[in-house]
């Protein structure tokens, strides 16, 4: 009788340790999502700021400046619910403005243009990477949260279900050639 009770306690302790380990893993995944989201927000803000600065520099033609400025401003001012759409529109504006390689050449020939073009190319290159890191962390957390043990024992607590950040982040060909 005593041996059976000891074995039951050992099994319950092992299950408790396993559930505790799983809850800790889930907590670390949620922290990773928060860190990846902050990095993504920083990269999106950097891209919008560089695009807005370039649009107001007077280097681009007036129509391109207006399109780029409005898209960058909308991306910087967007509410959380509209952020993905606004960032996608900025990507589309960047592709439209820099569809022609000559536009990039005009920027590079202006005083300080080489640095501005390099900074924009770098910002455009980093956004897809930051988004990929964020979405990978979200995917890992979602897969763990779908397990029965996590749902049955409510190991996620009150943490909101993680959502991926879906946007059009395809960079303009002229800027990717420059970044490579």
The pLDDT tens digits for 95-150 are: 999 998 888 998 999 998 899 999 999 999 999 999 999 999 999 999 999 999 99
Q: How many Cα atoms sit within 13 Å of 161 on the Cβ side? A: 6
pLDDT at 174 > cutoff 90: no
- 25-66 pLDDT tens trace: 999 999 999 999 999 999 999 999 999 999 999 999 999 999
% pLDDT > 90, the chain: 86
The burial class, CB within 10 Å (0-12 / 13-18 / 19+), for 144 is middle
Q: How confident is the model at residue 180 (pLDDT cuts 50, 70, 90)?
A: very low
3-state DSSP assignment of residue 87: helix
| Cβ count near 45 (within 10 Å) | 13
Provide the pLDDT for residue 88: 97
47 Cβ contact partners less than 8 Å away, ≥ 6 residues apart: 75, 90, 120, 123, 124, 126, 127
Question: For the residues 3-17, what does the mean pLDDT come to?
Answer: 94
At residue 90's C-alpha, the angle toward residues 36 and 134, to 5°, is: 15
Provide the pLDDT for residue 178: 47
pLDDT at 179 > cutoff 80: no
């Amino acid at each position: 009788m005593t041996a059976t009770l000891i074995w039951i306690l050992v099994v319950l302790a092992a299950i408790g340790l396993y559930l505790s380990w799983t809850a800790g893993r889930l907590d670390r995944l949620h922290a990773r999502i928060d860190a990846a989201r902050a990095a993504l927000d920083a990269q999106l803000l950097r891209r919008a700021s560089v695009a807005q600065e370039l649009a107001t520099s007077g280097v681009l033609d007036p129509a391109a400046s207006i399109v780029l400025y409005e898209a960058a401003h909308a991306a910087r001012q967007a509410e959380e619910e509209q952020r993905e759409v606004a960032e996608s529109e900025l990507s589309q504006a960047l592709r439209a403005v820099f569809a022609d390689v000559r536009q990039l050449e005009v920027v590079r020939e202006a005083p300080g243009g080489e640095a501005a073009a390099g900074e924009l190319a770098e910002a455009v290159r980093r956004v897809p990477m930051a988004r990929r890191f964020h979405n990978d962390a979200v995917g890992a957390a979602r897969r763990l949260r779908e397990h029965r043990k996590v749902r049955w024992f409510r190991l996620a607590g009150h943490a909101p279900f993680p959502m991926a950040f879906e946007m059009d982040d395809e960079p303009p060909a002229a800027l990717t050639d420059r970044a490579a």
